[in-house]
Structure 1
Amino acid sequence: MRLNSGNAKPPVIRDALLLAVQFLRRAGIPQPRLEAELLLAHVLEESTLRVITHDERPLTPAQWETYQQVVRQRGSGYPLQYITGRQEFMSLMFKVTPQVLIPRSDTEVLVETVLALKGDFAGRPCRILDVGTGSGAIAVSLAFYWPEAQVTAVDLSPGALAVARENARRHGVQVEWVQGDGLTPFLAAGRQFDLIVSNPPYIPSPQLSSLQREVQHEPALALDGGPDGLRFYRRLA
C-alpha cells in the first residue's frame, strides 16, 4: 500500500508526516504522530527536533520511497525498535535486532534495585551474573553505572551475544560474555557470584500465539516460558 501524496513530486516533510500519521492511525498504531516523526528522523538520520522544526524541506525521491517502506512496515505491526535498530534503556541507547528481545522500561527496576546494593560491597568488587542477557541491556547498564562490579553475562543465542558485545563496546564497558544454557556453564566450572539477575522468558507457551502482534516478531527463545511460564524460574531457583 502506498502513501499517496497526490503529487508526482515527493512531498515536503510536513505533508509526508501528515500522510504517515493518517496511514499509521488506520493501521491501529497507538501513537501515530510520534512514530511517524521517529521513523522520518531515522530515514533522514537526524533528530526528531530538526524534523519538526524544519518541516518545510522537500524530501528527495529516495528519502520518500524509503519513508513509505518503513511506514508500511510499521503499519504491518513490525516493531518500531527493529526498524530503527535502537531502544533507550537506563538513559543509554542500545542496538536491537530481531535476534534480541526489545528492552522494556519495566526492567529498569531490576537494574535500579541492584545498583541500590552498591554500599553492601564497599571495599570489594561485586560479582554479578546476568542470565539470558539478550541485547545486554541489564549487564551493560550495571557495568556502566557500577564500574567496580565484575559483570558476567550468558545467553544461549550467538546472535544475541553479538548484539550484546556491540552494545558493550558502544558504552565502553567490560563484561564477560559466555555462550551457554543458563547456569550450566558456571555450575560445571564451580564458579560463584554475589548476585544473579535475569529477565527470563515468562510467557506460557499456549499464550504465545495470542500476544500483541509486535511482540510476536520478537525471538520465541526470549518469550517462551514453557507450559506455565515458570520453566526458567524453576531452573534459576
Structure 2
Amino acid sequence: MLASTVSSKILRAFAEKEGLHFIETLTGFKWMGNEAVKLMSNGKTVLFAFEEAIGFMFSTNVLDKDGISAACHLASMACYLQAKEHISLDEKLQKIYEEYGFHYTITSYYFCYEAPVIKKIFERLRNFKGEDKTYPVGILDGKFKIKHIRDLTNGVDTAQPDGKAILPVSASSQMITFTFENGLVITLRTSGTEPKIKYYAEMCAKPGQTDFDGLINTTNEMVTAIVQEYLQPKENNLTAKSD
C-alpha cells in the first residue's frame, strides 16, 4: 500500500496491524504510480494508493488517481455495511479509529509572495540555535517535544540510523517534517505552483486512546503554536488563507 508523505498515516496503521507493507513517496501520483510499477516488477501486489488531495488508486488497472472506481468502491462499501452490519460509513469510521487508532488532520496554507522571505523562514528552522542543522526541539517552551525531523531539502532524517533521508531530496524546494513524541506529525512545505507555504498536520493516536475530543484539542493547540513559533506569520507578513 502506498501514500504520499503529506497524506494521512492511517494507512501505515492498517499495514502495521495487518502485516502489509507500507511505502511512503513524495507528493503526487507520478511518484506512487512509478513506485507501483517497480513493486510489480519485483513480484509484489499493489493493493491501494492515495493522496491527501482526494485521489485514490484501487488496484493497478489505472496507475493514477481514479475517481470513478473510488466512487464505485465507496458506494459498494456503504451498501455492504448497511445490509450486513447495519451501520453507516461514519459508524464504520469510528470502529476503524477504535481498532487502528484515532487520526485527525489539519491542513492549510499561507501566501508568501517574496522568495527571500520563504528561504529565511526555512533556514531559520535549520539554524534554530544559531548553528547549521540545529532544528527546533519542541514547542510551547517544551510542553510538546519533537522526536524526529526529516528535511527533504538537505537530506536529513533523524529517524534513520545514518541520519540521511530515504526519500528523494530536492534543494530547489522546501520541505520539513516534524514528528512529535505524542504522535503529531506536521509537514511544512512550499507549493510547486503557487506562492504558498503549506502545512499538513495529523495526530496519529494509538489504539486505546479514546479521548477523541482531547486529541482534537491537543492537535489544535499544537498546530496553532507551530504556525506561530515556526512560520511567524506576523513577523514575516504572511497572508492567511481566506475562509
TM, length-normalised to structure 2:
0.25
Q: Which has the higher helix share?
A: 1
Higher relative contact order (CA 8 A, sep 6+): 2
Larger radius of gyration: 1
TM, length-normalised to structure 1:
0.25
